[in-house]
Amino acid sequence: MSDEDSDSALDGVAIIGMAGRFPGAPDVAAFQANLLAGRDSIDRFTDAELEDRFGPEERADPAFVRARGIIQDVENFDAAFFGMKPREAALTDPQHRVFLEICWQAFEDAGYDPARIDGAVGVFAGASMNTYFLHHLAQDRAMLDRFTSQFQVGEYATLMGALGDTLATRVSYKLNLRGPSMGVLTACSTGLVAAAQAVQSLLLHQSDMALAGGVSITFPQRRGYMAEDGAMCAPDGVCRPFDAAANGTVFSAGAGVVLLKRLTDAVADGDHVYAVIKGQAVNNDGADKVGFTAPSVGPQAELVMTAQAVAGFEPRSVGFVECHGTATPLGDPIEVAGLTRAFRAGTDDVGFCALGSHKGNVGHMDAAAGVAGLIKAALAVQTGIIPGTPHFKRANAELALETSPFFVNAAPIPWPAIRGPRRAGVTALGIGGTNAHLCLEQAPETAPSVAVEAPVVLPLSARSAAGLAAARAALAARLRAPDAPALGDVAQTLRSGRRHFAHRSAVVAASLEDAAARLGSPDAATGEAPATPRPVVFMFPGQGAQDPAMAGALFREEPVFRAAVETCAAALRRTGGVDLIEALYGAAPGNAASIRDTYLAQPAIFAVEYALAQLWMDRGVRPAAMIGHSIGELVAATLSGVIGLEDAIQLVAERGRLMSALPGGSMLAVRLAEAELVPLLRGEVALAAVNGPALCVVAGPNDAIAALQRALEAREIGCRLLHTSHAFHSPMMDPILPAMREISGRMRFAPPAIPYVSTLTGDWIGDGECQDPEFWAQHARAPVRFAQGLAALRARMPEAALLEVGPGRTLVTLARQAGGRPVAAASLPEAGEDASPRDTMAQALAQLWVAGAEVTWPAIPGARRVSLPPTPFERTRHWIDAPASAAPPAAAVIAAIPPAPLPETAPTMLDQRLATAHAGIVAAIESLSGEAMPAGDAETSFLELGFDSLLLTQLAQQLRKRFAIPLTFRQLSGELCSLAKL
């Protein structure tokens, strides 16, 4: 394509997420399945099921119809998820509650966590009249008088729950969205007009992303209606759009929302795109019609032509129009006439464009109808399958379809054979004449997903163990589906596009099949992360942990690791050292004997551990602190900035060369505490390391160590000879100390930028000591106090996750032996273990994340966000029951939670009065919040307990009445801000 064509192809607004609840469908996937199956989702009620107030005579009337589309489970809501108190949730219009939930699900469907979106996110939405307030809360005249008398200046909780104006702003507040947030109310066209306004906001760069939709849930849900033939409502409860037998619509509940983004941004960010909105128009019929509620041909034709002109669509290129299609005798012919006039402005062809209306499936969802049509059309454009229109048998003759550009399909069909991308239109017409038409186009093709290198960590979380189990099962089912997304796309979405909750699971998989199986396994690791992310501590092992060709697979397969090793090897060559890469990973890599040679072992350990640390940081795990065992401490010092990499390599190389030139010696691990072991040492045998409360290492000449080993074994004291060439950290190192002081004295040291514990002192490194040449000389001679250092680290960071960054699991084992059940993981397998380094690292990453460690997941190159099952909500009943029709209405209140027991009666009048005050305040708080006052929270401020300004205002009002004192909101948020102070 030319540059101009390329720019044009990326014009428009992408639909990147969608969510909804519809009659017979708890989500969009079920809605689409019902559409394709041609399922009528209208409920038919028995008299026992009806909740309306029609009397027996009215229900016996032949014109009474017991049919309506309903939404299940609306009395239940996950209030805690959205930070709402029980009473606040119960007072809030269920339309708002459902819309909150589907907005969150739309973000998850798009692969975004609202908290991690940079830029302004707008909200454009509308709802039907709040009949929950009328039917459930306004239970008697006294309640209404109380509410209206205090309207705008009192009864705030009821007002905020009932106010329709707050639908969009409540979403912005609860999800912390900072773009334009406004209600849209145009009756039946609300949902689609909201989408058109969102498109404008995006194109004007007022928003970077935008939610748009509508909701209609009115009460009582299970109600009938009186129908009149030829009027708006179907006498038989069946909606038949475009059919010769069409005689009216059926009203229903529903909710839908789409998440929109400029197409250029969506493509750049690797978003999944359902379809692209290329043009839109909104107008009003004006007075050119027979009545306020009637439609009009001319304005509807102008609407469609304007939208197509904005989109640049030739009418002949459009293969499907999702109509308003209410199946009313007046409405359908006028709508089709308007469409025909609009299309005839560009083509004389007939029968090339399908017409449809979801109202044949789910009825008329009022404020949600337009966005439901947009969702249906976007899915049709995406899949290339146009759903049929149920109940269509023979076209209404007044539509004149045989001479029009249109046809109606009763069953699903493939997209009509039209050259170019799939294109569709969506129309919504509102009572009062505000109409909207949107033009959709097939999303541009994207490059196939890049195959990700296995293994891959898939993190999954929820707010409870039950929710996590449900999330695992849903994701496993999705990964088994024929159209399952690529493994890398799944990982990218779960890592960067989901909120990470406390209850966690992570599986390591090499394929979709592997992932699904592991998700379904009861043996998969799960855990609960703490409220505050765990810091991660890097632990670097010392000499003795090395093995031939250690981490060779990482050198071959991980560019970050390889680059770091090559940097170390180049620095080592400049010191005149060996060719480290050839020795470790060459054609004839070092054997077990040569790798134990101190001259090679110490630079090799340093390089592998330094490179492994770089790889961990590239994978999103950064150390909050470090500890290194002997030579491992030099890796910590380098990463901390105490010493530069070039100087560190030189110091390690010289240290290894000097040690290698010394006479050989031995080292012996002994199962005794330091205090028990030291009295047994003689001659040149010295304490070399204290690795645990009852695990030490001694070093000295070979014969002396052999004699000590025999003596210990004779006393049945556990001991083991270590595979070392010299007696490190013993008097046998004394001859090299002057050279070590001289070498260190030539180098520049700096204070640590990342704190670490020195195993020379067994304490946190100080700014002065790490810059002293004597420190680095003694570092090769003095005992390694790892146990003491680990204790100091755990004292300051008791919740830290410990990660061994080096070969083997020696330090992980020592940390676990020290007690306290730490979270500890190893980076590399033990020598001889049948596991790959990549697998071991992936398992360690999964273990760290499940335990709540801080992980900044990096982007997977070439991966895209994809639609995955949402995080399960954990709904409970938050509801005020409507009064029974047979009894006088009761006051619209929630049953108060019983107050906390009064304290025992004290002998003084003051104590009695304090007890009475305490009980009265607690009762008022519990009545307003709808939940029990936590015991022991008398000193905690009301704000910390989650009481907002509205609740405190009401509390002040109640306490003024109860105690006849001039208490104010200002006092409750200031000097009287806790139960005890009050």
Q: So which residues are the catalytic ones?
A: 188, 324, 364, 630
Say if strands 666-670 and 695-700 run parallel, antiparallel, or are unpaired. antiparallel
What distance in Å separates the CA atoms of residue 955 and residue 979, rounded to the nearest whole number?
12
Distance in angstroms (rounded) separating the CA atoms of residues 872 and 816: 36
Phi and psi at 427, nearest 5°, equal: -120, 140
User: HSE (CB half, 13 Å, CA atoms) of 971?
Assistant: 14
In terms of Cα–Cα distance, which of 676, 629, 623, 670 is closest to 790? 629
Give CA–CA dist 486/868, Å, rounded. Answer: 11
Query: Rounded distance, CA 889 to CA 59, Å?
Result: 23
Closest CA to 260 of 66, 18, 492: 18
220 prior amide bond cis, ω within 30? yes
**Is the Cβ–Cβ distance between 611 and 827 less than 8 Å?**
no
Rama region for 980: left / alpha / beta (φ>0; ψ in -120 to 50; rest): alpha
What are the phi and psi torsion angles at 612 (to 5°)? -65, -40
Count of other CB atoms within 10 angstroms of residue 682: 11
The amino acid occupying position 198 is A
Count of C-beta atoms within a 10 Å radius of residue 17: 29
Number of DSSP helices (H) and strands (E) in the chain, helices first: 35, 32
Question: For residue 898, how many other CB atoms are within 10 A of its CB?
Answer: 9
Extended strands (E) in 666-776: 666-670, 686-692, 695-700, 719-721, 756-758, 763-764
Q: How far apart are CA 867 and CA 870, in angstroms?
A: 9
Strand, helix or coil at 975? coil
How many alpha carbons fall within 13 Å on the CB side of residue 520?
12
Residue 305 · residue 339 · CB < 8 Å: no
Opening angle at CA 839, ends 506 and 551, nearest 5? 145
Nearest of 967, 973, 963, 919 to residue 942 by alpha carbon: 973
| Phi/psi of residue 190, nearest 5 degrees | -50, -50
d(CA 12, CA 78): 35
Q: Cis peptide before 455, with omega less than 30 degrees from 0?
A: yes
CA atoms within 13 A on the CB side of 680: 23
Which two tokens mark 821?
């059940």
**Lookup: tokens for 956:** 């002040």
Tell me if 489 sits within 8 A of 495, measured CB to CB.
no
DSSP string, 224-260: -EE--TTSSB-TTS---TTBTT---B-BB-EEEEEEE
Q: How far apart are CA 497 and CA 104, in angstroms?
A: 12
Max intra-chain CA distance, the chain: 114
The string of DSSP letters for 935-964 reads: TT-TTSBTTTTT--HHHHHHHHHHHHHHH-
Nearest to 82 by CA among 866, 878, 922, 849: 878
